[in-house]
Structure 1
Amino acid sequence: MTRALTFADLIVRPVHWLAFGFGSGLSPKAPGTAGTVVAIPLYLLLSQLPLAGYLLVVLATFALGVYLCDKTSRDLGVHDHPGIVWDEFVGYWITMIAAPAGWVWVVIGFLWFRLFDVLKPWPIRWLDEHVHGGFGIMIDDVLAGVMALVCVQLCYWWWV
């Protein structure tokens, strides 16, 4: 039996603090959604970067996430614990690559990403079920982010 992490546990273990999205993954309901909400203000900061800088940060946070998610899932003894939401951060940031400015696009990106992350259409579900470790935790959200990115861009193309 694994012991649930508490907020105090997260504070003393920076790896878990990050993997749990600064504590947002402790949300008793919909921790993935809570993690994505916390990713929004960080996105607003990142969106000020030039595109190359933004992409570099996304790549670096993906690599960091592989480690964070792997370490935290091993420490908890649970693969892809629902409280691990760093993958939602990165998936949302992928969704928002080159997104148009404005709150409507922040929300549209949020909705598309959550839709793909929750429903897990093929091949997202396959990756979620067959790829393990930190990379496995991250890759399904990366693909959900890519699919949501395409939808955001198509919405913009259609809308404008």
Structure 2
Amino acid sequence: MTDSLQSSQPMPLSVWRNPWHNLAFGFGSGTLPKAPGTWGSLLALAFVPLWQTLPGWAYGLVIVASMLFGIWLCGKVAQDLGVHDHEGIVWDEFAGIWITFWLVPAGWPWLLLGFLVFRVLDIVKPWPLSWVDRNVTGGLGIMLDDILAGFAACGLVHLVVWLVG
């Protein structure tokens, strides 16, 4: 769901005491009162220049690890909190942003473009993202729409790189 549609969930204090909850809530970025997914995406964006220094295969391993870990993490934390997908859980945005920039050239213009494309896809949730968001449950359900948004954003950014390059 979009950030604005889920703003009624109370923020659990466990975010500050439980390391798994802290990770799922993006080191606290998901606790911000407005647009937690956007804040989580911005914090995740800070890691991208570091990942871009890695060889493509190593960055790919970071992506695979963040996806697999995220399925477990988001499922665990949602279960701990007794909710399907708490608005403050933003590890899915971390993985989605990191996917967006795989093999994308470094530089602020690409970071800005990729961030905007990913956020639009994650908020608007065109089909099949909307179907996944409504029908897939658990940790996989929390993660999958953002994973797909990340791959779609990555493809669109690569298309722009190819067109202007």
Same fold (TM over 0.5): yes
Residue 50 of structure 1 aligns with which residue?
55
Report the CA distance between 1:42 and its aligned residue.
Answer: 1.2
- Amino acid of the residue matched to residue 138 of structure 2? G
RMSD: 1.1
Does 1:26 find its partner at 2:68?
no
TM-score, normalised by the number of residues in structure 1: 0.95
Given that residues 3 and 76 in structure 1 are in contact (C-alpha distance below 8 angstroms), is that contact kept between their aligned partners in structure 2? no
Structure 2 residue 47 is the aligned partner of structure 1 residue 37: no
| Cα shift at 1:11 | 2.7
The answer to whether structure 1 residue 158 and structure 2 residue 163 are counterparts is yes
CA distance in structure 2 between the partners assigned to 1:139 and 1:48 by the alignment: 26
8 A Cα contact 2:11 2:88, kept in partner:
no
What are the superposed Cα offsets for residues 69-124 of structure 1, whole Å, 9 maximum, x if unpaired? 00111111111111000000000111101111101101100000001000000000
Provide the rounded CA distance (Å) in 1 between the counterparts of 2:36 and 2:11.
14
Label 1:104 to 1:67 Cα distance change in 2 as closer, same or farther (>3 A): same
Matched, 1:136 2:144: no
Runs (5+) with no aligned partner, structure 2: 1-8
How many angstroms apart in 1 are the aligned matches of 2:157 and 2:147? 15
Structure 1 residue ranges without an equivalent (≥5):
none
Residue of structure 2 equivalent to 1:111: 116
Matching residue within 69, 72, 76 for 2:77: 72
Give the SS at the match of 1:121.
coil
Q: How far apart, CA to CA, are the structure 2 residues paired with 1:116 and 1:18?
A: 23
Deviation above 4 Å: which 4+ runs of structure 1? none
Shift of 1:3: 5.6
TM-score scaled by structure 2?
0.92
Percent same amino acid among aligned pairs? 50
Length, aligned pairs only: 157
